[in-house]
Amino acid sequence: MSEPASPTSPATTPLLSLRGVDKSFGAVQVLHGVDLDVHAGQVTALVGDNGAGKSTLVKCVAGIYTTDAGEYSFDGRPVQISGPKDTAALGIEVVYQDLALADNLDIVQNMFLGRERKKGGLLDETSMEELARQTLASLSVRTVRSVRQLVSSLSGGQRQTVAIAKAVLWNSRVVLLDEPTAALGVAQTRQVLDLVRRLADNGLGVVLISHNLNDVFEVADTITALYLGRVAATVRTRDVTSSQVVELITAGRSGDLGAAPASASATA
């Protein structure tokens, strides 16, 4: 966290790094030579219009799609990704927009779903509850009263909190959040953004996909703008204004920023 970690500084080793990623579905090429860096302790926002390739890129990072070309490196080492199991093993977790929680189970049960802890063949509820509490405490979650309440009794913000806590429970190092505040009210958005910030403060690499530039400017350290499947620019949040990012999203360039894919990759 204390070492220099800006995307323009070549000295840093990003936690997760994609270089020149191409992805086509049949005749349609969705991603063109995309570069993406995720640094530990930083929030990287991924912005772009509908169809810019955000979701495809996230699925490539998560290993759900295999890339046609390009390099994938983790911790500075190139890795081969052939499926979601590989990325899970690296500690990459995705929190999807529809949260994938079971309403009829409680928070602990949801957090450990599919990866239950067992003792003597039976579920080890004690250690699961302890670990769930520790995880929520480490994220300074104050909005959840009891880990034994059913998810159906939670508000949208609390559900998002549980989904994020579930993702960090597994010693993950990179968390990708797909529109975490899309369906939330003001106060709940506040809670979730605080949580996103705290994830980064705890040393994780966070990728935030969002349409909401207010959210992005509030928590992101760097912004990667996609335009028609290309990286328009990767910029530091404090170096740009909201209207510049809007131009990057809608036109692919803003003044001397971004634009030509060649210049975007030149920063790598």
Write the DSSP assignment of 1-69 as a string of letters.
--S---TT-TT---SEEEEEEEEEETTEEEEEEEEEEE-TT-EEEEEE-TTSSHHHHHHHHHTSS--SE
Q: Which is nearer to other proteins, 214 or 263 (CB)?
A: 214
Residue 241 — φ and ψ, nearest 5°? Answer: -105, 165
**Least CB distance from residue 212 to other proteins, whole Å?**
15
**Least CB distance from residue 254 to other proteins, whole Å?**
20
Considering only the stretches 13-21, 172-180, 196-204, 259-267, report the one whose residues sit in contact with other proteins under the rule CB under 8 A.
Answer: 196-204
**85: which residues sit within 8 A by CB, 6+ positions away?**
63
Show the tokens assigned to 104: 């009829």
Residue 77 CB neighbour total at 10 angstroms: 7
**Least CB distance from residue 227 to other proteins, whole Å?**
24
3-state secondary structure of 169: coil
Considering only the stretches 35-43, 49-57, 223-231, 248-256, report the one whose residues sit in contact with other proteins under the rule CB under 8 A.
Answer: 35-43
Query: How many angstroms separate the CA atoms of 211 and 98, rounded?
Result: 16
Q: Which is nearer to other proteins, 24 or 237 (CB)?
A: 237
Query: How many angstroms separate the CA atoms of 114 and 158, rounded?
Result: 21
Number of residues that bind other proteins (CB under 8 A): 65
**Least CB distance from residue 76 to other proteins, whole Å?**
18
**Where in 104-163 is the site for other proteins (CB under 8 A)?**
104-105, 109-110, 113-116, 118, 121-123, 126, 129-130, 133-134, 136-142, 144-148, 150, 152-156
Characterize the bridge pairing of strands 205-209 and 222-227.
unpaired
By CB under 8 A, tell whether 26 contacts other proteins. no
Q: Which of 80, 98, 171, 262 binds other proteins (CB under 8 A)?
A: 98
**Where in 205-244 is the site for other proteins (CB under 8 A)?**
217-222, 236-238
> What is the CA 248 to chain-centroid distance, rounded?
20
Query: How many angstroms separate the CA atoms of 38 and 76, rounded?
Result: 11
Binding stretches for other proteins (CB under 8 A): 1-6, 9, 41-43, 96, 98-105, 109-110, 113-116, 118, 121-123, 126, 129-130, 133-134, 136-142, 144-148, 150, 152-156, 197-198, 201-202, 217-222, 236-238
